[in-house]
Structure 1
Amino acid sequence: MDLTWNIIRILIIAIVLINEIAALITVFREKRDIAATWAWLLVLTLIPVLGFVAYAFLGRKPTRQRMERIQTATQLELSEAIEEQKKQFANMMKPKKATKMTYWRTVQLFQNLDDAFFSRHNHVEIFDDGNQLFEKMFQDIEMAKKTINIEFYTIYNDQIGNQLRTLLEQKAAEGVEVRVLYDSWGSRGVQPSFYNQLRANGGAAAQFLMTRSNWFDFRINYRDHRKIVTIDGKIGYVGGFNVGDQYLGRVAKFGYWRDTHLRLIGGSVYSLQQRFIRDWNATMQGTPNQILHYRRFFPPIKVTNATTPVQIVSSGPDNQLETIKLGYLRLINAAQDHIWIQTPYLIPDDSMIDALKVAAHSGIDVRIMIPCKPDHPFVYRATQYYARMLANEGVTIYYYENGFMHAKTVMIDGKMASVGSANLDYRSFKLNFEINSFIYDPQITDRLEQIFMNDIRHSKVVTPEMFTQQSLWLRFKQTASRLLSPIL
């Protein structure tokens, strides 16, 4: 008996030692920030074996070859225009002219970090309801004459997903060039055969970066979270909605789905078109489906009475600069009166926390609206933790109670705003491919703020006192989830 226990004890010690060595090798063989490093060490050492299963889903980075395919994709048609804009902005930044427009520094930031094209004249239409959005989007698709390019994190095999697929099949049969790019994890359950008829009609569809399947490439992180639609190179859509019945309030678990999306007409569509083509070419690299003759995708756009300046900004793990996060920080630090934010996931890093704290303690009206219910339990508990932390620093926290809040909007002083796919969390800042529109227009910002005020009618303020009344068990779950926040 003693011999048996000694053998078991030796085996346990051996497993622990092997696990510890493997944990150190696994975490340190890839470059990552210190918070994520410690979080993974915690998981791998405290949860032997099973921690490595979690790492397989959440921790592995994309292969170097895949990142190079994104990084080396050319800037296409806008390269010369962007370089000319940089020269113009450099002149505008001279001391005598620097005060002309308050947002030029933000514009310049995105020019330098992301080569983001600045478009001065755009029509912008805001949608905060999925049914209205898809009705308009489908009308635009039906009118398409030449090209339809679609890129979504999620396209489900459900009622709205099948409506979209059928419509795209019809347009492809009419001779319109149709391309669909989707994320295999976000669209889980949808097989490549879902698009067989589209391909038979002359269209094309592919999983982002040609992921074979989630069984062979089961990374939850480093996903294509972008939402892009361009039609004939003249009409574009960008925002927070995906394609699925739940985004139209048809799933009882979530109820009404509150999100924000934009319809754009103007030069900003060129940027959406360019982003799609770069993602498509990175996915199709070395295949006949790659877009080589792209000038036809950038037709002249004639718009009248269009006065909204817009920059389309993208970020992702292919670029370590975290461009969209830095854009958020730029807006927050520039605020003089108020900062209003809507996000389903509030898991900010230290730089974002400090910026929000500084603003709140400077007397700026900082308000953040989050959902009142979870769609991912660990993520939601971490969101609650940071909501409690920020409430204690003077930030007003709202729980949206009329369904699920999924909008990703930032509004500053009634002057500037951002709408897109990026949440206020580590995943959007560091791990996923995102795209946002940054808008420099008081009228559009005012409309977004009116929507925010209307959402307040369906929300409750959660005060620091209310947070202290939460049960010890709930607060423990929040704190524990917060320890994992760099990898959620």
Structure 2
Amino acid sequence: MLSSVIGVILLLVHAAGVLAAMHAVMNTRTPQGAFAWALGLVLLPYITLVPYLYLGRSRFHGYVDLHRLRREQMQAMANTTLQSALSTPWVCERYEEIATMLRARFHPGQRLRLLVNGETTFNAMLSAIGEARHCVLMQFFIIHDDALGRRLQQVLLERARAGVEVCVLYDGIGSHALPSHYVDTLREGGVAIHPFATQRRSNRFQLNFRNHRKILVVDGTRGFVGGLNVGDEYLGLKPPLSPWRDTHLQIEGPAVADLQRSFAEDWHWVTGALPPLLRPEHAAGHTHTLIAATGPADRQETCSLFFVTLIHAARRRLWITTPYFVPDQAVMSALRLAVFRGVDVRVLIPSRPDHHAVFLATGLYAHDAVRAGIRVYRYQPGFLHEKVVLVDDDTASVGSMNLDNRSFRLNFEIGALSVGTEFAAEVEAMLREDFSHAHEVTEAEYLKAPYLRRLAMHVARLFDPVL
């Protein structure tokens, strides 16, 4: 009797595996991912069926439809409000494909401040919030209930008591450890705060399509974007990853309107209402800046194409910093071609892991890159989390985008692409300092690694569609 029950259960599991494999073939975004899921679900459903429930879903039509409609409406509103031309300035024409793809624009006259570590970043952001008079729009992937999180909480509550409208979004999975009393305290104090999810109805099986964006806009005039979340580790206070290396950016000028617009799209999906949208002031800076908001709801794989365009634009130098180096075929091919053009291609990655599977896959891709003539460096003092790209002598990108499949296809990301020699020189100086604390990766790192570690690298790379 027991054996018959077990047999029926095994048959049902295999049948469920076949059905899930059919779903994977029809819905997975890449052929490699579809093949990997289908093979595992048919042959090893006992192992892969549960992970597929959490990671395999790739459709969220309600969000997609509303996202595209809201983007068009917000773009029309921005066009009317800003009264600026849609044409790309001649100094930015190398990146016209990005502007066209994202239906975004390069705004002239931006004043930028490069925030080169967590202490500088949060001092600037908390100070800006404390000076808010009208509204604060804030969005983070991770918010922790620790010393930094409570500092932020108190500043938000103080502004709400002063009559400032405060709107906060956090990712429901990224901030899974955020206790309910933290959120309740903010709500009771007058702060509008909500978790982000691509489905309004709770779905504990939905782990993909996280909102990885980090946005802060104060009074419509000052905007912040970059790689830092809210937590003590981002201040370098949590060994063994400390000191934490990260970068953020402060923006003043019309580009802040596009940060507001990105926040408003996500806020409207979650709440059904629009947050306060204020017209930004014209700044006296010398940089053209485009806000690149990418995500899986876009018609194209915009994040991957964003990187491909930047790489193809490089003629002399291409320096990239990323905590996770798991490039897709298009990005890797573009990097190889840049080497053939004689471009100085350098990639800075961590020497310590925060996610072991991604770290292993990064090591194998680093080996492939070195063999292709790309110079790869490992940052030594602590964990490297910054997401910065420097192109030639005039272009830099600072944002939340990693060089991995999650950023390319599964996460909602945002960054600021800026063209201007003065700002690029600041980024160059920062990156030179970073590279001075790194050692260059050689082929020996992989070749001399123990066999089991090399095997683990190759196994980890099999899962790069979900890393």
Q: TM-score range by the shorter chain?
A: over 0.9
Which of 25, 44, 48 aligns to 2:45? It is 48
Question: Which residue number in structure 1 is paired with residue 245 of structure 2?
Answer: 258
Question: Which residue number in structure 2 is paired with residue 27 of structure 1?
Answer: 24
CA drift of 1:300 comes to 4.8
Question: Which residue number in structure 1 is paired with residue 297 of structure 2?
Answer: 318
Question: Which residue number in structure 2 is paired with residue 267 of structure 1?
Answer: 254
Q: SS state of the match for residue 300, structure 2? A: coil
The RMSD of aligned alpha carbons is 2.4
CA drift of 1:130 comes to 0.3
CA drift of 1:192 comes to 4.2
Q: SS state of the match for residue 206, structure 1? A: strand
- Is 1:298 matched up with 2:297? no
Q: Distance in 2 between matches of 1:212 and 1:376?
A: 29
CA drift of 1:20 comes to 4.6
The answer to whether the Cα contact below 8 Å between 1:230 and 1:269 also exists between their aligned partners in 2 is: yes
Rg comparison, structure with higher value = 1
CA drift of 1:250 comes to 1.0
Question: Which residue number in structure 1 is paired with residue 118 of structure 2?
Answer: 130
Distance 1:58 1:16, change over 3 A: closer
Q: Distance in 2 between matches of 1:321 and 1:362?
A: 27
Question: Which residue number in structure 2 is paired with residue 156 of structure 1?
Answer: 144
Q: Distance in 2 between matches of 1:477 and 1:209?
A: 33
Moved more, 35-44 or 22-31: 22-31
- Is 1:344 matched up with 2:323? yes
Alignment of 1:111-130 (within 5 A): 111-130=99-118
Q: Distance in 2 between matches of 1:64 and 1:251?
A: 40
- Is 1:78 matched up with 2:78? yes
CA drift of 1:345 comes to 0.6
Question: Which residue number in structure 2 is paired with residue 95 of structure 1?
Answer: none
Counterpart residue identity of residue 332, structure 2: I
- Is 1:392 matched up with 2:371? yes
Moved more, 8-17 or 332-341: 8-17
Distance 1:66 1:164, change over 3 A: same
Question: Which residue number in structure 2 is paired with residue 39 of structure 1?
Answer: 36
Q: SS state of the match for residue 150, structure 1? A: strand
The answer to whether the Cα contact below 8 Å between 2:172 and 2:197 also exists between their aligned partners in 1 is: no
Q: Kindly, what percent of the aligned residue pairs are identical?
A: 32
Moved more, 462-471 or 63-72: 63-72
Q: Distance in 1 between matches of 2:464 and 2:293?
A: 23
Count of aligned pairs between the two proteins: 464
Q: Distance in 2 between matches of 1:377 and 1:46?
A: 26
Question: Which residue number in structure 1 is paired with residue 93 of structure 2?
Answer: 104
Q: Distance in 2 between matches of 1:129 and 1:83?
A: 35
Distance 1:220 1:374, change over 3 A: farther
Q: Distance in 2 between matches of 1:260 and 1:46?
A: 44
Question: Which residue number in structure 1 is paired with residue 57 of structure 2?
Answer: 60
Q: SS state of the match for residue 397, structure 2? A: strand
Q: Distance in 2 between matches of 1:55 and 1:83?
A: 47
The answer to whether the Cα contact below 8 Å between 1:184 and 1:213 also exists between their aligned partners in 2 is: no
CA drift of 1:212 comes to 7.4
Residue deviations 1:385-429 (CA, integer Å, cap 9, x gap):
111111111111111111100011111112211110010111101
Alignment of 1:464-479 (within 5 A): 464-479=443-458
Q: Distance in 1 between matches of 2:270 and 2:8?
A: 46
Alignment of 1:73-222 (within 5 A): 73=70, 74-75=73-74, 77-80=77-80, 85-86=85-86, 88-89=87-88, 101=91, 103-106=92-95, 108-209=96-197, 216-222=203-209
Q: Distance in 2 between matches of 1:221 and 1:113?
A: 23
Counterpart residue identity of residue 79, structure 1: N
Give the TM-score of the pair, scaled to structure 2: 0.93
Q: SS state of the match for residue 456, structure 2? A: helix
> What are structure 1's unaligned runs of at least 5 residues?
93-99
Question: Which residue number in structure 2 is paired with residue 279 of structure 1?
Answer: 266
> What are structure 2's unaligned runs of at least 5 residues?
none
Distance 1:49 1:82, change over 3 A: farther
CA drift of 1:47 comes to 3.1
Distance 1:83 1:378, change over 3 A: farther
Q: SS state of the match for residue 124, structure 1? A: strand
The answer to whether the Cα contact below 8 Å between 1:361 and 1:393 also exists between their aligned partners in 2 is: no
Q: Distance in 2 between matches of 1:43 and 1:213?
A: 29
Distance 1:471 1:19, change over 3 A: farther
Q: Distance in 1 between matches of 2:217 and 2:415?
A: 15
Q: SS state of the match for residue 145, structure 2? A: coil
Counterpart residue identity of residue 166, structure 2: V
Question: Which residue number in structure 2 is paired with residue 486 of structure 1?
Answer: 465
Distance 1:438 1:344, change over 3 A: same
Counterpart residue identity of residue 301, structure 2: E
Distance 1:481 1:140, change over 3 A: same
The answer to whether the Cα contact below 8 Å between 1:131 and 1:248 also exists between their aligned partners in 2 is: yes
Distance 1:399 1:162, change over 3 A: same
CA drift of 1:15 comes to 5.6
Counterpart residue identity of residue 51, structure 1: T
Q: Distance in 1 between matches of 2:423 and 2:298?
A: 30
CA drift of 1:81 comes to 6.8
Residue deviations 1:460-481 (CA, integer Å, cap 9, x gap):
1111133211111111111111
Distance 1:192 1:179, change over 3 A: farther
Q: Distance in 1 between matches of 2:144 and 2:270?
A: 20
Q: SS state of the match for residue 52, structure 1? A: helix
Q: Distance in 2 between matches of 1:368 and 1:374?
A: 16
Counterpart residue identity of residue 34, structure 2: T
Moved more, 57-66 or 379-388: 57-66
CA drift of 1:55 comes to 1.1
Q: SS state of the match for residue 134, structure 1? A: helix
Alignment of 1:321-470 (within 5 A): 321-470=300-449
